[in-house]
Structure 1
C-alpha cells in the first residue's frame, strides 16, 4: 500500500528535486502560517507592553502593524526561497534538455560513422570529435568510438574484397583530430590523459607529431604496413604505452626526437620486417622502455644519436636475423640498457658505433 506521506519519486531525471505532494503541503503551509501569525500577534503585544513605560494602553493598531511588518519580512524570505526552488527546477530542466540533445547528437554521429558514403562518415568523425569537446562527462566514450573505428578491418589493396573508397581519408582524419587534441595538455578540450586503444589497428598513414601521450595508450598488435606514420617529437610521459606485438612491415614509422620520460613503454615482441623505423635522436630519461624479444628480420631500424640516460631500456632476448639496426652516436649513462641474450644471425647488419661496457651475449 502506498504511504500518503511519502514524497513523490523522481520522474524527470536526476536533476529534479524530490518534492512532497501539493495536497499535503498546502494545508500544512496554511496551518503553519496561521500559527505563526497568531504567535507573532501575541508576541508583538507582549513586546510592546514590556517597552511601554507609561500607563497608556497598547493600541491594537500598533500590535497589528508590528505583526504585519514581521509577516512581511517572513513573506519576503519565503518568496526568496520559492524563487530559489524555481531556479533549481529550471536548471534541472535545462540539464535534462542538454543531456537529451547531447545523447541525440551522439546517436546521430555514431550512425554517420557507419554510413556507406565516405563523405557522411567524415561528417560523423567531425561531429563525434566536436561532441567530445562539448561533453566532458562522456569525452572518453566519444574518443573510444573514434579509436574503435580505427580498429575495424581495413583493406588497403583496392583490388581486394572489402576495399572501401575514401576510407583512407576518413581514417587519416581521425588520426589528425586525435593528434590535434594531444598537442596542448592544458587546453580545456585536451584529450591528454585519456585512454587511446588502437589495438590491432592498421596504419598506412597518419601523424602524431609533437603529441603528448600521458594516459593508457595501446598500439598492441597494430600493423604499420605502408605510407608514413610520424611520432616525431612526441612525448610519452606518466602512462602505459603498448606497442607489444606490433608489426612494422612497410613504409616509414618515425619516432625521431621523441621523449620517453616516465611510465612504461613496451615494444616487447614487436616485429621489424620491412620499411624504415626511426628512433634517432630520441631521449630515454626515466621510466621503463622494453624492446625485449623483439624480432628484426628486414628493413632499417635506427637508434642513431639516441640518449639512454635514465630510463631502463631492455633489448634482452631480441633476434636480429636480417635488415639493418643502427645505434651510431647513441649515448649511455650507467647500467640503464640491457642487451643480454641476443640472437644475431650473419645476415643482420648491426651498427653499434661507440659502445659502452654493457654485457652483450651472442649465443
Structure 2
C-alpha cells in the first residue's frame, strides 16, 4: 500500500513537473556573469570619461550620470544582440520541426500511394497514380523515387490481349494514365515541377499504346528489352538530349512506333540487338546530332523501319548486320 501511494505521488512529478535543476544552476551563473560584465563596462566608461574630463581646461570632475548612461546603453545593446540570437535559434528550431513534420506527412502520403497502386481494383490504382504524381510535385527531394515507382509499375508483367489468361480488367487504363502523367510532366523543361532532368527506366516494359509526343527527356531513358505490341506508341516531336536513350534488345512486334520529327542530340541512341517484326517504326523527319546512333545486330523480319527526310549531323551512325526479309 505504501509503495502504491509513493508511486502515485512520484508519477505526476516525473511526468508533468519540469526539471528545475539546470535553471537553478544557470540563473545564478547568468546573474553573476551579467554583474561582472556590467561592472567591467562601468569601470571602462568611468576611465574614459575621467580621461576626457582631465583633458579639459580647466579639468572638470567626472559626471557619474554620463558613466551610468553609457553602461546601461552598452548592456542594453548586448542584451538586444543576445535576444536576437536567441530568437534566431528558436526560428531555426521551429523551421526544423516544420521540416520534419512535412517530411513525415510526405512519407505518409507515399505509403498511401504505394498501397493504392497495389490494390486489386483498377479505380483505386488510378487514384494511386495521381496521388504519387502529386507527391512527386510536392516532394522534390524524393521526386526521382516517385518516378521510379511509376516506371516500376509499367515494368510489371502485363498481358495486353483481353482474351488471354492473366489479363486484368482496367489494367490498360491504369498504364495509359501513367504514360499520360509522365508526358504531362515532360512538356515544360523549365517548370518547377518538370520531370525532364530525371531518369526513366522502362526496361522490359510492355507497351500497347501511349503518347510521349513533344516530351523532353534530358536524363537517361531506358527501353531496354521493352516490347512494343499492338496500338501506337508516339514519340513525335519528342526531344532526347544529354543522356543515353537505350532501346537495346527491344522488340517491335505489331502496332506502330512513331519518332516523327523527334530530336536526338548530345547523347547515345542504342537500338543494338533490337527486333523489328510485323510492325512499323518510323523516324521520318527526325534529327540525329552530336551523338552516336547504333543499330548493330538489329533484326528486321517482316517489319518496316523508315528514315524519310531524317537528318544526321555530327552523328556516327552504326548499322550492323540487318537481314532483309525473304522476298523483299
TM-score category, normalised to shorter length: 0.7 to 0.9
Corresponding residue number in structure 2 for 1:242: 246
| Match among 179, 183, 186 for residue 179 of structure 1 | 183
Tell me: CA distance 1:109–1:306, structure 2 relative to 1, closer, same or farther (3 Å): same
Q: 1:25 to 1:276 in 2, by over 3 A?
A: farther
Deviation at 1:24, TM superposition (A): 6.7
Separation in 1 of the partners of 2:26 and 2:121? Answer: 58
Q: 1:23 to 1:164 in 2, by over 3 A?
A: farther
**Residue among 263, 268, 284 paired with 1:264:** 268
- How far apart are residue 60 of structure 1 and its match? 4.0
Computed over aligned residues only, the root mean square deviation of the Cα atoms, in angstroms, reads: 1.8
Asked if the contact 1:226/1:250 (under 8 Å) is kept, the reply is yes
* Contact 1:131–1:142 (8 Å) recurs in 2: yes
Partners of 1:22 and 1:295 in 2: CA distance: 80
| Deviation readout 1:200-229 (Å, 9 max, x if unpaired) | 000001001111122111000000011110
Match of 2:107 in 1: 103
C-alpha displacement at 1:40, in angstroms?
1.0
Shift of 1:27: 4.9
In structure 2, the CA distance between the partners of 1:22 and 1:199, relative to structure 1 (3 Å rule), is: farther
Does the Cα contact within 8 Å between 1:232 and 1:257 map onto a contact in 2?
Answer: yes
Give the drift of 1:185.
Answer: 1.4
Which residue is equivalent to 1:309?
Answer: 313
2:287 corresponding residue in structure 1 = 283
| Number of residues of Structure 1 aligned to a counterpart in Structure 2 | 304
Q: Is the 8 A contact 1:183 1:210 kept in 2?
A: yes
What is residue 33 of structure 2 aligned with on the other side?
32
Aligned match for 1:218, one of 219, 222, 236: 222
SS of aligned partner of 2:269: strand
| CA deviation map 1:262-301 (0-9, x unaligned) | 2000000000111221112222222001111000011222
CA contact (8 A) 1:203 1:224 kept: yes
Mapped partners of 1:126, 1:233: distance in 2? 25
Q: Secondary structure at the match of 2:159?
A: coil
Shift of 1:32: 2.6
Alignment counterpart, residue 162 of structure 1, candidates 151, 162, 166: 166
Higher helix share: 2
Deviations 1:50-103 (A, max 9, x none): 122355543544433321122111111111111111111111111111111111
Inter-partner Cα distance in structure 2 for 1:319 and 1:29: 89
Measure, in 1, the Cα distance between the counterparts of 2:273 and 2:59.
105
8 Å CA contact 1:224, 1:249 repeated in 2: yes
The Cα shift of 1:255 comes to: 1.0
Does structure 2 conserve the Cα–Cα contact (< 8 Å) formed by 1:293 and 1:319?
no
TM-score (norm 2): 0.88
Could you tell me which residue of structure 2 aligns to residue 298 of structure 1?
302
Match of 1:207 in 2: 211
Question: CA offset at residue 315 of structure 1?
Answer: 1.1
| 2:115 counterpart of 1:128 | no
Structure 2 unpaired stretches of 5+: 1-21
Deviation at 1:22, TM superposition (A): 6.2
Q: 1:34 to 1:273 in 2, by over 3 A?
A: same
Runs ≥4 residues deviating over 6 A: 21-24
Aligned equivalent of 1:193, options 191, 197, 204: 197
Alignment partners' CA distance in 2, 1:25 and 1:266? 69
* Counterpart among 66, 71, 74 of residue 67 in structure 1: 71
Unpaired runs of 5+ residues, structure 1, are: 1-20, 323-345, 350-363
Which whole-Å CA distance do the structure 1 matches of 2:309 and 2:68 have between them? 93
The TM-score with structure 1 as length reference comes to 0.79
Paired residue secondary structure (1:190)? coil
Q: How far is the alpha carbon of 1:253 from its aligned partner?
A: 0.8
